[in-house]
């Protein structure tokens, strides 16, 4: 079974080898069908501490690394949106 991959922005990098990534998603309201934005935050493993706040990153599901950390940083882009091009293709 393939592992889940998400694209989001780094919100915090204050921990050692860990970043907090905010993933934005919008879904229609059940009754009014207006698009409602939703944000989920995930803690992801960044082994080299190379992510900065505002970077676009691709994270991948992995085995539990700590109590709250279950994601791994796979690819790092910049805030200008290098990953946005790939996201629009999918």
Query: pLDDT (tens digit, 9 = 90+) per residue, 56-78?
Result: 999 999 999 999 999 999 999 87
pLDDT at 85: 61
pLDDT in tens, 35-63: 999 999 999 999 999 999 999 999 999 99
pLDDT tens across 23-36, in order? Answer: 999 999 999 999 99
Q: What is the pLDDT of residue 46?
A: 96
pLDDT of res. 83: 60
What span, in angstroms and rounded, lies between the C-alpha atoms of 15 and 59?
17
- Residue 75 is part of a domain; what is its CATH number? 2.40.50.140
pLDDT of 9-21, one tens digit each?
A: 999 999 999 999 9
As a whole-number percent, the residues of the chain with pLDDT over 70 amount to 87
What is the rounded CA–CA span in Å between residue 15 and residue 41? 15
Task: Please give the Cα distance from 53 to 76 (Å, whole number).
Answer: 11
Total domain count, the chain: 1
């Amino acid at each position: 079974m393939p592992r889940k991959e998400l694209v989001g922005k780094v919100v915090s990098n204050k921990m050692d080898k860990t970043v907090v990534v905010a993933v934005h998603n919008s879904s229609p309201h059940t009754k009014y069908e207006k698009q409602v934005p939703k944000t989920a935050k995930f803690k992801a493993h960044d082994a080299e501490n190379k992510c900065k706040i505002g970077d676009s990153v691709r994270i991948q599901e992995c085995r539990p690394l700590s109590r709250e950390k279950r994601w791994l940083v796979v690819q790092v882009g910049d805030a200008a949106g290098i990953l946005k091009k790939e996201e629009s293709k999918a």
